Structure 1
Amino acid sequence: MLTLREEVRRVIVFQALLTLLVAAGFGYARGGPDILSALYGGAVAVLLSAWLGRGVKRAVGLVSLCANALTRYAAAMLFLGIGMGMLKLTPLPLIVAFAVAQLGFLAGVQRN
């Protein structure tokens, strides 16, 4: 049986690998700038997964878990908005990498 820390680490590594694959695919198909956009989108998903693991570990009750979920949702919107708005990253690779990494979270959790 894996500990929570080992589970979180395994999921994050899986998400990071998926992010690298998506970034390589966009780089091959569309060129260099899309690699950075995909890496950013995947990094947001990885950061949120790490944040989730930390929140679950520190949770005292249902209220703290809900607060953590709301904070992560707001952070996702903020970071994706910064990526597309302020940093002017290409939206398609950013969103695709974010989505694939998030799906990788589900696949990584269910692999156990």
Structure 2
Amino acid sequence: MSFAAQALRKGVRRVLLFQALLTLTVAAAFGYARGRHDFMSAGYGGALVMLLSAWLGRGALRSAGLGGLYANAVTRYAAAVVLLGLGMGVLKLAPLPLIVAFAVAQFGFLANVHRS
């Protein structure tokens, strides 16, 4: 495995770990304040972000070119819309905790910012 691939894998792991920490924090706050249903809703929103982040890392490793990266991005956006709709529509999860956890977990990408 090349150095770049190892660095990418390490970065993806770091981001996923930080996103899991953020998700658990938000879910615990909603669970404490509003109950089990909101805890589960927030957990779903954060888990969705982690799934999409893992998908991004996998796509970046497997991509043969710019076209592959664009296809991965379009697929991830479509999956995000479908899975958010599934969570709120079919699973009847609470929208506020789901969206808040989704947004907060996105900040997990800051875990991969390197300081010089």
Residue 109 (str. 1) matches residue 112 (str. 2): yes
Q: Give the 5 Å matches for 1:1-112.
A: 3-105=7-109, 107-111=110-114
Q: Choose 1 or 2 for highest CA Rg.
A: 2
**SS of corresponding position for 2:93:** coil
**SS of corresponding position for 2:92:** coil
Following superposition, the deviation at residue 111 of structure 1 comes to 4.3
Number of equivalenced pairs: 111
Structure 2: which 5+ residue stretches go unaligned? none
> What do residues 5-34 of structure 1 show as CA deviations (whole Å, max 9, x unaligned)?
111011001000100000000011111110
Structure 1: which 5+ residue stretches go unaligned? none
| Cα distance in 2 for residues equivalent to 1:108 and 1:77 | 25
Residue type of the alignment partner of 1:52: L
RMSD of equivalent CA atoms: 1.3
| Cα distance in 1 for residues equivalent to 2:108 and 2:17 | 10
Following superposition, the deviation at residue 109 of structure 1 comes to 2.4
